[in-house]
Amino acid sequence: MINRSVYEHYIALNKREYSSVELTKAYLEQIEKKDKKTGAFITVTADGALDAAKKYDEGKCRKSVLAGIPVAIKDNICTKGIKTTCASKILQDFIPPYDAFVIEKLKAEGAVIMGKTNMDEFGMGSTTEKSVYGATRNPLDYNRVPGGSSGGSAAAIAENEVAYALGSDTGGSVRQPAAFCGLVGMKTTYGSVSRYGLVAYASSLEQICPLSRTVMDNALALNGIVGHDRRDSTSVCRKYSDFTIGIKDGVKGLKIGIPKEFFSIGINESIKTAVWLAAKEYEKMGAELVDVSLPNLNSVLPAYYILSCAEASSNLARYDGIRYGYRTDDYISIEELYRKSRSEGFGWEVKKRIMLGTMVLSAEYHNQYYKKALKVKNNIKTEFNNVFDKCQIIIAPVSPSVAYKIGGSENPMRDYLDDIYTVPANMAGIPALSLPCGVGEEEMPIGMQLIGPAFSEALLYRAGYAYENRGKAGDI
């Protein structure tokens, strides 16, 4: 039963084919069996999960679609009374006194929270190797990374340790692990899911996002966490309708743009072909393909790294050894306490980004770098708007290659450059759905992205569902 989708569990639980406690125990057994190898979890909350499952079985919670079904949470989302480490030494003993907005929502839905998943420290990375707890492995090939930074969440699903999971996506951290593990991940419109309780890395770019096995599951999970929250000043106040409405309506007449720049920069041939073939499938299903262009795509990546590091340097200033987490043992002055706690508590990648961010925000350089990067951010928004005058959504690859071998991160530039296709959606604040579209080298999965204008999630799910279920008969 553990390889089933959320939707299948929902049906089975309702038919009383198995109870939530039985389901939860089956996943806990799988975690016990597999997680030593995979390393998807930092913390497993077996007792809390079984309590929630029991509540469901006793009819003491809402019978929503997510009720009684196990979910994993990335370890940068605050969970009351449960360690939230961001995979960093500096937060290794941090126990939040409150739940993030999305956790409050999931609890209200009756979800069964199985624990907290591994990640690159503070979300900075693309491989889930940069964690103080060690690397997570890709269940499809243990010698490869699951992608990152939400690699623990993706690996937990791919290893059948949970039915679905939450991650966060600042520059691709949900979509790229989905692509590397053969899963579905949605980067939602900026402001649609509250960031209250998400430990900040680059606040103007990131969103909490669902990862799942199927497109339908993803829509169901997003239904559970979307919504306005006044505790996040960037949360958009609007009414969201059920993302599964119209999901089966197909793509007849849909105009899908093919941005030529996405198919030219350093891309692996097998990926280019797979995404092309997917576009052709859409044509067969009645969609119309149109050529579009985002001429300044090349400047988006460097601008992303300037802005994300700038914001990180400011957001991470709060870890001073006094208010949160780790404190050095050995100091004689307050300055030394700050310096040593931060030097010993942060990993190398985080320190590098704090230094870069501090530089680009300095009086001397902020016009030259930070302000220019903000202009690039505005510009890409305009370019996407122009593209969406010609088509309703666009199709693109997620990553220029399939999952890397573990240990390849000695070349940091590779990880940075490979974010080229995912960061544009974060810079423009628009939604992007990553879903499998074939297999490449050594049978590793390939992912494609469907990107749409702000608040077009329902349309992206409809298009994703049509592709995922093409050629299948009957109700899925």
Binding mask 78-117 for ligand GLN (x = CB under 6 A): ----------------------------------------
Active site annotation includes 235: no
The residues with which 396 forms a beta bridge, in sequence order, are 449
DSSP alpha helix (H) spans, 400-469: 412-417, 423-428, 457-468
The active-site residue, picked from 168, 173, 308, 434, is: 173
The nearest distance, CB 155 to ligand GLN, in angstroms, is 16
Of 194-233, binders to ligand GLN (CB under 6 A) are: 201
Residue of the chain from 5, 88, 128, 149 that contacts ligand GLN (CB under 6 A): 149
The nearest distance, CB 66 to ligand GLN, in angstroms, is 24
Active site annotation includes 149: yes
Of 299-358, binders to ligand GLN (CB under 6 A) are: 308
Binding mask 409-448 for ligand GLN (x = CB under 6 A): ----------x-----------------------------
Is 118 a residue that touches ligand GLN (CB under 6 A)?
Answer: no
Given the complex with ligand GLN, which of 170 and 214 has the nearer CB atom? 170
How big is the site for ligand GLN, counted in residues (CB under 6 A)? 13
Whether 297 contacts 384, CB under 8 Å = no
DSSP per-residue letters across 31-96: HHHHHHHH--EEEE-HHHHHHHHHHHHTT-S---TTTT-EEEEETTB-BTTB---TT-GGGTT---
The nearest distance, CB 349 to ligand GLN, in angstroms, is 8
Given the complex with ligand GLN, which of 68 and 123 has the nearer CB atom? 123
Given the complex with ligand GLN, which of 45 and 401 has the nearer CB atom? 401
Only segment of 90-98, 119-127, 188-196, 396-404 that touches ligand GLN (CB under 6 A): 119-127
Only segment of 21-29, 123-131, 228-236, 466-474 that touches ligand GLN (CB under 6 A): 123-131
Tokens of 214: 């199927």
Beta strands (DSSP E) in 304-409 are 393-397
Is 129 a residue that touches ligand GLN (CB under 6 A)?
Answer: no
Give dist(CA 347, CA 322) in Å, integer. Answer: 18
Given the complex with ligand GLN, which of 244 and 409 has the nearer CB atom? 409
Given the complex with ligand GLN, which of 172 and 182 has the nearer CB atom? 172
Contacts 24+ apart (CB under 8 A), 90-98: 90/319, 90/324, 90/325, 90/326, 90/341, 90/342, 90/345, 90/346, 91/199, 91/319, 91/324, 91/325, 91/326, 92/132, 92/325, 92/326, 93/325, 93/326, 94/324, 94/325, 96/197, 98/197
Is 172 a residue that touches ligand GLN (CB under 6 A)?
Answer: yes
Sequence-ordered list of residues with C-beta below 8 angstroms from that of 335, at least 6 positions apart, any chain:
none
Residue of the chain from 35, 169, 229, 320 that contacts ligand GLN (CB under 6 A): 169
Given the complex with ligand GLN, which of 125 and 397 has the nearer CB atom? 125
Residue of the chain from 96, 125, 224, 464 that contacts ligand GLN (CB under 6 A): 125
The residues with which 211 forms a beta bridge, in sequence order, are 165, 185
Give dist(CA 277, CA 319) in Å, integer. Answer: 48
Only segment of 54-62, 110-118, 170-178, 261-269 that touches ligand GLN (CB under 6 A): 170-178
Given the complex with ligand GLN, which of 308 and 456 has the nearer CB atom? 308
Whether 164 contacts 148, CB under 8 Å = no
The nearest distance, CB 119 to ligand GLN, in angstroms, is 8
Q: Environment class of residue 265 by beta-carbon count within 10 Å: exposed (0-12), middle (13-18) or buried (19+)?
A: middle
The active-site residue, picked from 88, 126, 131, 149, is: 149
Of 259-288, binders to ligand GLN (CB under 6 A) are: none
Only segment of 122-130, 158-166, 177-185, 212-220 that touches ligand GLN (CB under 6 A): 122-130
Question: Sheet of 288-292: strands edge to edge?
Answer: 41-44, 112-117, 70-74, 164-169, 207-212, 184-187, 432-439, 445-451, 393-397, 255-259, 288-292
Cβ of 446: how many Cβ atoms within 10 Å? 26
Given the complex with ligand GLN, which of 172 and 259 has the nearer CB atom? 172
Whether 466 contacts 393, CB under 8 Å = no
Q: Which has the closest alpha carbon to 204: 101, 77, 306?
A: 306
Tokens of 152: 């623990």
Tokens of 178: 């989905």
Cβ of 235: how many Cβ atoms within 10 Å? 19
Give dist(CA 84, CA 79) in Å, integer. Answer: 7
Tokens of 30: 């799988």
The nearest distance, CB 364 to ligand GLN, in angstroms, is 24
The active-site residue, picked from 74, 105, 116, 130, is: 74
Whether 158 contacts 398, CB under 8 Å = no
Active site annotation includes 173: yes
Is 171 a residue that touches ligand GLN (CB under 6 A)?
Answer: yes
Residue of the chain from 170, 218, 244, 449 that contacts ligand GLN (CB under 6 A): 170
Q: Which residues bind ligand GLN (CB under 6 A)?
A: 123-126, 149, 169-173, 201, 308, 419
Q: Which residues are catalytic?
A: 74, 149, 173
